Amino acid sequence: MVELKTRRELALLREAGRVVAEALAEVRDRAEVGVTLAELGRVAAKVIDKAGATPAFLGYHPSWAPAPYPGVICASVNDAVVHGIPDHTRLAGGDLVSIDCGAFLRGWCGDAAVSFIVGEARQADIDLINATDAALARGISAAQAGRQLGDVGHAIGGPVRRAGYGLLADHGGHGVGRAMHEDPFVYNEGRPGHGYRLRPGLVLALEPMLIADGTDDYVTARDGWTLRTASGSRAAHSEHTIAITDDGPEILTAL
Is residue 176 packed enough to be buried (19+ CB in 10 Å), middle (13-18) or exposed (0-12)? buried
Q: Residue 74 binds which one of Co ion, ligand MF3, none, with CB within 5 to 8 A depending on kind?
A: ligand MF3
Under the rule (CB under 5 A), what is the footprint of Co ion?
Answer: 111, 205
233, 211 Cβ separation under 8 angstroms: yes
Of 5, 14, 18, 83, the one binding ligand MF3 (CB under 6 A) is 83
Contacts for 137 with CB less than 8 Å, ≥ 6 apart: none
Binding to ligand MF3 (CB under 6 A) within 90-129 occurs at 100, 102, 111, 113
Of 128 and 204, nearer to Co ion (C-beta) is 204
| By CB under 6 A, residue 69 contacts ligand MF3 | yes
Q: How far is the CB of 171 from ligand MF3 (least distance, A)?
A: 7
In 3D, which of 124, 123, 75 has the Cα closest to residue 101?
75
Report which residue type is found at 5: K
Minimum CB distance to ligand MF3 smaller for 110 or for 150: 110
Q: Does 60 bind ligand MF3 (CB under 6 A)?
A: yes
Nearer to ligand MF3, 44 or 96 (CB): 44
Does residue number 182 form part of the binding site for ligand MF3 (CB under 6 A)?
no
Could you tell me the smallest distance in angstroms from the CB atom of residue 120 to ligand MF3? Answer: 28
Which C-beta is closer to ligand MF3: that of 79 or that of 207? Answer: 207
Q: Is residue 57 part of the contact set for ligand MF3 (CB under 6 A)? A: yes
Size of the site for ligand MF3 (CB under 6 A): 13
Q: Which does 196 bind (CB under 5 to 8 A by kind): Co ion, ligand MF3, none?
A: none
Could you say whether residue 169 binds ligand MF3 (CB under 6 A)?
no
Shortest reach from residue 177's CB to ligand MF3, in Å: 13
Q: How far is the CB of 32 from ligand MF3 (least distance, A)?
A: 23
Burial state string for 235-247 with b = 16 or more CB within 10 A and e = fewer than 16: bbbbbbbbbbbee
CA nearest neighbour of 209 among 126, 117, 100? 100
Out of 239, 240, 249, 251, the only residue in the binding site for ligand MF3 (CB under 6 A) is 239
Residues found near ligand MF3 in the complex (CB under 6 A) = 57, 60, 69, 74, 83, 100, 102, 111, 113, 174, 205, 207, 239
